[in-house]
Amino acid sequence: MGKGGYGEQRGGGRGGFRGGRGGGRGGFNNSFNQGPPAEVVVVGAFQSACEGEMVCKLNNPKVPFFNAPIYLQDKTMIGKIDEILGPLNEIFFTVKMQDGQTANTFKKDDKVYIGLDKLLPMDRFLPKPKVAGKGSV
């Protein structure tokens, strides 16, 4: 028996190079096409087209995920959120259009929709209140 040299197991070690902690968990398995969500809600209104993308104003109390799919009311996917911009009281987002869709076909204030599971509460982006530590009066 060795003295615990490189790659040798000793006392229930984690193994050598391969198969150590965590094992091979694989890549991002979340990227497959999930289809339209069961329910969509209004997330914003079209403002203008810029470099082939839609610029929309957020009119939902929650903030959308990056890369979240964006739909029409009939759940037809039109693109994915690319950028989120502006101050917290006036948020805009851009939508990278899906193949076959063009931003120029939309009119100002046309509504765009998102799945409920792709929204985050606004307090996620606000500073946390300071909590008094032990011993403070």
pLDDT in tens, the chain (137 residues): 555 555 555 555 555 555 555 544 555 444 555 678 999 999 999 999 999 999 999 999 999 999 999 999 999 999 999 999 999 899 999 999 999 999 999 999 999 999 999 999 988 888 888 877 676 55
Would the pTM count as exceeding 0.85? Answer: no
Domain of 58, CATH number, reads 2.40.10.230
How many other β-carbons are positioned within 10 Å of the β-carbon of residue 56?
Answer: 26
Residue 60 placed within a domain: yes
Is 27 within the bounds of a domain?
A: no
Is residue 30 domain-resident?
no
Could you give the CA distance from residue 9 to residue 1 in angstroms, rounded to a whole number?
10
53-58/92-97 β-pairing: antiparallel
Q: Would you say residue 7 lies in a domain?
A: no
Is residue 28 a part of any domain in this protein? no
Question: What is the count of structural domains for the chain?
Answer: 1
- Classify residue 134: in a domain, yes or no: no
In which domain, by residue range, is 109 found? 36-121
Instruction: For residue 111, tell me if it sits in a domain.
Output: yes
| Nearby residues of 16 by Cβ (< 8 Å), 6 or more positions away | 6, 7, 8, 9
